[in-house]
Chain A
Amino acid sequence: MFQVKIYLASIQPLETRQSTLNERGLIMSKTLKSNKFVTVALIISIVLAGMSFGNLPSPTTSTSIQTVNGVTFNFADYRSLTLEELAIFNFLTNLFDQPYGSWDGWYLEPEFYGLFHYVLAFMSYSLAMYYETTPGYRTSYYEEISDNLVRKFNTSYDDWDNQSIEYFEWIYASITQNWTGYYYPDTFTPDADDLYTGGFRGPANIMWTGHYMLMELLHERNFNTGEFDDEITFYMEDWNNSLTTDGFGNPQEGGIWKCGLIPCEPYEVWVQCNSIPIYATELYDGIYGTAYMGNDTVEGIWDYGLEFSNTMMQDPNSLYIDGYYVQEPFGFQQPEEGVQQEFPGNRLSPFRTDGSLRSRGYGVAWSLEFLDFLQPEVTDEEYSIFLREYGKEISGDQMYFVDSFYNTGYFGTYEFLACLFTLALAKQEGDFNTVQRIQNFLYGLYNKVWSADGREMHWDTSSLEPFLQTSIAYGWIWGCNPVTLNDLVEPRPAGFWDYPFISQADDEYIWVYQAEWDPVKEGFILNINVDQPATLTFSNFDSLPTAYAGGVPLRTLELTSGGDYTLTLQSGSYNLVIM
C-alpha cells in the first residue's frame, strides 16, 4: 500500500505537486505562527540540551558467545572492565610519572596530610580489584604502577624530607601531638620496662604498617615478583610479636596493649585500622602457607582482638565504635561537664556528655567490609543496621552517609569518606541499589573530563575540593568493579602462574576489557579494542595457539625466539578465543 502511494505521488502532475507543497508550507507557517511560544520553548530546550550534553554513562562492554572446537565460550560469564575504568586507570598513571616523593597533580594541602596515605592505600586496593578483573593481562604497564604505588607509600623522611609519607603521616602530627615520644605503658616517666612505641615503622603505627604490608602483599599476589617477600614477612612477625607477647618477647595474652589489637596513634586502637592487618594475615597465610590466623590446633594471633572488637568496642546498635584508648595521650583535656574519659577505655563521643561512645560511619563501613571474609554473618547482620543508622536519603536517586549520627547537621570530608567506604561495602553485599544511589550522590556534581585522544578520563572536582579528584577517580573502580575484597583475600589458584597470559603489549594502543585463561575450557578469553595496529606477546602457551573470532580462526600466533607467541591486531574491536 505504501509503495502504491509513493508511486501515485510520483506520477502526480508537476503543478499538483507544487500546489501540495505550497499547502504544506502554509500549514507549517500557520502552525508556527499559532504556536510561537511552543516553538520558542522547543528551540530553547534544544539549545539548552545541546549546551548541557555531557556526563552520560559510557556504553557497556560488548560480549559475545563463541563455539570453538566444540567448546562454547560466553564472554558474559567472565569479569570485564568498562571503558570508564580503563580511562580512569590511564588518568591515574600520570600521577606516577614523577619521582616517588613528588606529588604534582595530587592537590595535597597540609590540611590533608593526615589523610593522604589512605588515599594511596585505598587506591592500591582499588587497582588490585582492577588488575584482578583481567588477570591474563600482566604487562609492565600494570605492574610498574602497582610497584610505584608501594614505593610512594614508603617514602621516608630521610630521603624525601617534608614531601615524604613518613612526614605527612607521622612527623607532621607529631609536631603538635608528640607521637614520636610515646612509651607503653608509662609514657610520661618511661624507664627500661616501658616499650618505645613512637616509631613510624612500628610497633604502634598499624595505620601505616598494616596498609604498607597489604599493598606489598597484593602486589605479590597480583604479579608474583618476590621483591617484597622479606619486608612482608618482617611485618608479619612484628605483628605476631605485638599480639602475643609484651613486646619484649614474654608471652602475654592480648599482646602489648592487652586488647589483642595494635594502635595507630600510639595511645589508641581502632577496629577499622586493625581490619587491614587481619585481612593481610589471611592473605599471607594463603600465599606463604603459614597459620597465623589459626587452625584446628593453633590459636590465631587476632582471635583475642576480634573478640575484643566484637564485645568491647560496640555501640548500643552492635556496630563498632571509633577508638579505644590504651593509655592517656599527652595533653588530654577531660570534658568540662558530663561523663569523664577513662584510660584505658572506649573513646567518648565529642558530641554528647552522657557517656555515649564515639561512632563514625566511615570506620564502621571500612571494618565491616574488610572483616567480611572472616565473619560474613556479622557483616550481613550489621549492614542493615548500618544503613539505618548512618544512611541519609536525599531522594530515591541519591543517598549519603553521615560520619556521626550524633552530628547529622554537618557535611565534610569524613562524610565523603563514609560514602566511599559504603560504596565498596554495598557492592560486596550485592546491594547495587545503594551503590547506584551513592554514586549518583558522589559523582552527580562533577563534569567528566576526557583527554583529547579519548584515552583518559577523570572527574573535575575543583569547584568543590581539588584534593578529592584522585579519590573520586579510583573510587569509581572501588565501587563499580566486579571484584570485591573477598575475592582478593584468596591467593591465586594452584597453577595460575603457569596459565597463558599477555606479558608484553603496545599498551598505549589497546583497551583490554577482558583477558583471562579459562583453565577448564583451556582457552584464553580476550575482549579488546585496538586504536592502532598493536602487537601482543603471550607467554606460557604450550603449543602454537590460534586466535578465533566468531568461532572461526582469525590467525595463528607467531612464535618468538624466546618461546613466546605474538599476535598483531589491526584497529577494531575483537572478542577472541585463543587456544
Chain B
Amino acid sequence: MSEESLTESETKKSLRERLYMQDGRNFGMTLVYAIIGAGLFMLVSTIPMPFIMYGLFKFGLLPALAIIGTVAAFRGPLAGFLTGYLGVVLYDLVIRGTIVSMTLPALGYGFLGLVTGAATYDLTSGRSLIKLSVLSAIGFVFTVLIAVAVGLTVESLATMVVLGFLMLPLITMGLPSVILLTPVFARIWHAILSKTYPSDQ
C-alpha cells in the first residue's frame, strides 16, 4: 500500500521508479493494475449511460474514463497508459468485435493515463486531487486530439461527423467526467484501501 499512496515529497525518482518497473515484482504489479484497470474500463463501458441533448451539445458522464486516471494516480504512467489503451482495445474487440483504425484511437486513451500518471499524488490532499483533475483534463485533450486526427486522416471521416459525432460529445461528456470523477474515484479507492490495509499507511 505504501507504494500506491505516493506523496508529493517523493520527487526524486528515476524513470523506472516513476513507471513502477524498478524490479520484476513492481513491474508485475504494474501490469496487474493495468489489466484490472483495462478490464474495469471495459465492463463499465458496457453500461448504457444516461445523457441529454441541448441543441447539438450532448451532456452526461462517462465513468469509464475516470478509471484510467484513477489507475494512473495509483500506479503511475505506464499502468495508466495500458489501462486506457488496452481498455479501449479490449472493449472494441470483446464487446464490439472490431479493431478501430489499427487501435490508433485507443492510443489517445492511453495518453490520458500517461499524462495523468506523470505526476505523483497525495490522495488525502485536496490540492493534490485538484492536480489530478487538471492533469486528467490535459490528458483527455490528447485523447480528443488523437481521436480527431485519426478520424480525419486514417479513417477519412467526414469533417461534420468528426466534429459533431466525435469531438463535441467527447468534450461535453468526457471532460466533465475526467475532471469530476477521477478525483472522486481516486479518493474513494484510497479510502477503501486505507481501511482494508491500515498498516500500510
Binding site for B on A (CB under 8 A): 34-38, 41-42, 44-45, 48-49, 51-57, 392-398, 400, 402, 408-411, 415, 433, 436-437, 441, 444-447, 460, 463-464
Q: Sample 23 A-B pairs with CB under 8 A, ordered by A number.
A: A34-B124, A38-B129, A41-B133, A41-B180, A44-B180, A52-B52, A53-B50, A55-B50, A392-B157, A393-B155, A394-B166, A396-B92, A396-B95, A396-B98, A408-B158, A409-B156, A410-B158, A433-B98, A444-B58, A444-B169, A445-B58, A445-B169, A464-B56
Contacts of B95 in A (CB 8 A): 396
Given contacts A54-B51, A392-B155, A396-B98, contact A48 B180 (CB under 8 A): yes
B165 at the interface (CB under 8 A from A): yes
B100 touches A38 (CB 8 A): no
Stretch of B16-24, B113-121, B181-189 on the interface side: B181-189
Q: Mark B45-74, 1 if CB is under 8 A from A, else 0.
A: 000101111011011110000000000000
- Closest chain-A Cβ to B164's Cβ sits at a distance in Å of 7
Q: Which residue of B126, B151, B159 is within 8 Å of A37 (Cβ)? A: B126
Q: Which of B58, B59, B127, B181 contacts A45 (CB 8 A)?
A: B181
Tell me if A463 and B157 are in contact (CB < 8 A). no
Check B201 for interface membership: any CB of A closer than 8 A. no
Instruction: State the CA gap A408–B56 with chains docked (Å).
Output: 22
Check if B126 sits within 8 Å of A408, measured CB to CB.
Answer: no
Contact A54 B96 (CB under 8 A): no
Contacts of A433 in B (CB 8 A): 96-98
CB-CB under 8 A from A437, the residues of chain B are: 96
Contact of B187 among A35, A49, A464 (CB under 8 A): A35
Residues of B within 8 A of A35 (CB): 126, 129, 187
Bound-state Cα–Cα, A48 to B173, Å: 10
Q: Which of B9-28 contact A (CB under 8 A)?
A: none
B107 at the interface (CB under 8 A from A): no
Give the residues in chain A near B165, CB-CB below 8 Å: 394, 398, 400, 441, 444-445
CB distance from B126 to the nearest CB of A (A): 4
Is B88 an interface residue when CB atoms closer than 8 A count as contact? Answer: yes
> Is the CB–CB distance between A52 and B166 below 8 Å?
no
CB of A118, distance to nearest CB on chain B (Å):
22
Tell me the complex Cα distance, A33–B141, Å: 31
A42 to B191, CA, bound (A): 15
Given contacts A394-B161, A409-B156, A410-B158, contact A41 B184 (CB under 8 A): yes
Per the CB 8 Å criterion, the residue count for chain B at the interface is 47
Give me the 8 closest cross-chain CB pairs, A-B, nearest first. Answer: A396-B92, A411-B158, A37-B126, A52-B52, A52-B60, A396-B96, A411-B160, A53-B50
Q: How far is the CA of A19 from the CA of B58 in the complex (A)?
A: 49
Q: Chain B residues with Cβ under 8 A from A402's Cβ?
A: 158
A35 CA to B176 CA in the complex, in Å?
19
A42's nearest neighbour on chain B, judged by CB, is B184
Q: Within 8 Å CB of B92, what residues of A?
A: 395-396
In the complex, whether B6 has a CB less than 8 A from a CB of chain A is: no
> For chain B residues 109-159, which have a beta carbon within 8 Å of chain A?
124, 126-127, 129-130, 133, 147, 151, 155-159
**A48-B176, A394-B166, A408-B157 given. 12 additional CB < 8 A pairs?**
A35-B187, A38-B184, A41-B181, A53-B50, A54-B52, A55-B50, A393-B101, A394-B161, A395-B92, A411-B161, A433-B97, A445-B169
Interface residues of B in 171-201 (CB under 8 A from A): 176, 179-181, 183-184, 187
Closest CB-CB distance, A312 to chain B, in whole Å? Answer: 30
- Taking a contact as CB atoms under 8 Å apart, the answer to whether A37 and B98 are in contact is no
**Bound complex: CA of A394 vs CA of B181, how far in Å?**
25
State whether the Cβ of B85 lies closer than 8 Å to any Cβ in chain A: no
How far in angstroms is the closest Cβ of chain A from B97? 5
> Taking A410-B158, A445-B165 as contacts, is the C-beta distance between A463 and B129 under 8 angstroms?
no
